Structure 1
Amino acid sequence: MDFSLLTDAMASKSYGKIADICNDLMLQVSAQGIAFQEEWPYAIHLLGHIYIDDINSARFLWKSIPSAIKESQPEVVAAWKIGQRLWMRDHAGVHEAIHGFDWSQEAQGLVAAFSELYTKRMFQLLLSAYSTISIQDTALFLGMNEDDATNYVLQQGWIVDPASRMLTVKKQPIVTDQKLDPSKLQRLTEYVFHLEH
């Protein structure tokens, strides 16, 4: 079985392509009637779907994995644990699942990239959903200890109240479309009119 496309994607850190590459390879192999269960990179395949936030596909893949593989490959179970936590919207549990397993050399880069991406997603969620939030809750969402979470959000311009242990969220400025100057519009109209006539 030729995993060169997958190997290249992993080496170039093109993690967003992994799920599609694995899906295509699985279809090709299945169409040829080749048994591939033992050597298939199920953990990487699951993590590829998780990375692109395609939890439905990850669930279907998990259900299709033979029980013998689940029992003999703990990394597959660990990858699915991340998927389960995402499915249940257990934000702190996602981070626990990420950090609670000793990932293989092959999976480490993908898991680290997903962890960073997930932290950024959670930060954006906090940014849009809260005006104030406790340091403790922020740490749970970001998968950090309270000091690291506080430092992380302070770098984004948030304000901390040490007495109440609350953070005030600094909203991002809303970018508005530039208004077109009427005189510029008039000149453009005259120019186009001149070109047409």
Structure 2
Amino acid sequence: MDFSVLNEALASKSFDKIADICDNLMIQVAAEGVAFQDEWPFAIHLLGHIYVDDVNSARFLWKSIPAAIKESQPELVAAWKIGQKLWTRDYAGVYEAILGFDWTQETQLLVTAFSELYTKRMFELLVSAYSTISIHDAAQFLGMSEDDATNYVVSQDWTVDPDSQMLTVKKQAIVKEQKLDPSKLQRLTEYVFHLEH
């Protein structure tokens, strides 16, 4: 089986393409009627869906994998633990699942990239959902120690109250770009012309 396209995507760190590449390869192989399950990179395929935040597709893929393969591939089971924690919104559990397995070198790149992306998503969630949050809770969301979480958010211009152990969230400025609709401009021009004449 030719995994060169998948290998190129992994090598170039195009992790957002992994799920689509694997889905397309799986369709091709299934159309050819070739047995592929033993050599299929299920863990990477599953993590590809998790990376692009497509937990529904990850669940579907997990359910379609034969039990014998799940039993023989501990890395696949570890990848699914991440998916389970995402599904149940166990934010701290996602980090525990990431750190709780000794990933292969090939998979480690994808897991590390996902972990960084997930931390960024969690930070954006905190910014949008909170005006203040405890250091402990922020650390849970960000998968960091309390000191690391404090340093991370302070570097993003949040403030910390050492007495109450609370963080004040700095809201990001919302930049809204107005789009010019030519038809509205035309109507406005006609209206002004009508008023003047």
- Decide: shared fold, TM above 0.5: yes
Distance (Å, rounded) in 2 between the aligned partners of 1:176 and 1:115: 29
Letter matched to residue 146 of structure 1: E
Distance (Å, rounded) in 2 between the aligned partners of 1:17 and 1:172: 29
Q: How many angstroms does 1:153 deviate by?
A: 0.1
Q: How many angstroms does 1:174 deviate by?
A: 2.4
What SS does the corresponding residue of 1:160 show, helix, strand or coil? strand
Runs of 4+ in 1 over 3 A off after TM superposition: none
- Segment drifting more, 66-75 vs 167-176: 167-176
Q: Which residue of 1 aligns with 2:94?
A: 94
Q: What is the Cα-based RMSD across aligned positions, in Å?
A: 1.6
CA deviations over 1:94-152 (Å, ceiling 9, x no partner): 11111111000110100000000000000000000000000000000000000000000
Paired residues, what number? 182
Structure 1: 5+ residue stretches without partners: 190-197
* Overall identity of the aligned pairs, in %: 77
Q: Which residue of 2 aligns with 1:34?
A: 34
What SS does the corresponding residue of 1:174 show, helix, strand or coil? coil
Q: Which residue of 1 aligns with 2:15?
A: 15
Letter matched to residue 150 of structure 1: T
| 2:160 maps to 1:160 | yes
| 2:60 maps to 1:56 | no
Q: How many angstroms does 1:176 deviate by?
A: 4.5
Change (3 A) 1:160 1:13: same
Distance (Å, rounded) in 2 between the aligned partners of 1:173 and 1:55: 30
Distance (Å, rounded) in 2 between the aligned partners of 1:101 and 1:37: 23
Distance (Å, rounded) in 2 between the aligned partners of 1:140 and 1:78: 20
Letter matched to residue 3 of structure 2: F
Letter matched to residue 109 of structure 2: G
Q: How many angstroms does 1:175 deviate by?
A: 2.1
Q: Which residue of 2 aligns with 1:123?
A: 123
Change (3 A) 1:119 1:33: same
User: Aligned ranges for residues 43-192 of structure 1 at < 5 Å?
Assistant: 43-177=43-177
Q: How many angstroms does 1:36 deviate by?
A: 0.7
Q: Which residue of 2 aligns with 1:194?
A: none
CA deviations over 1:147-172 (Å, ceiling 9, x no partner): 00000000000000011100000111
Distance (Å, rounded) in 2 between the aligned partners of 1:24 and 1:16: 14
What SS does the corresponding residue of 2:103 show, helix, strand or coil? coil
Distance (Å, rounded) in 1 between the aligned partners of 2:64 and 2:171: 43
What SS does the corresponding residue of 2:153 show, helix, strand or coil? helix
Q: Which residue of 1 aligns with 2:195?
A: none
Distance (Å, rounded) in 1 between the aligned partners of 2:91 and 2:99: 13
What SS does the corresponding residue of 1:156 show, helix, strand or coil? coil
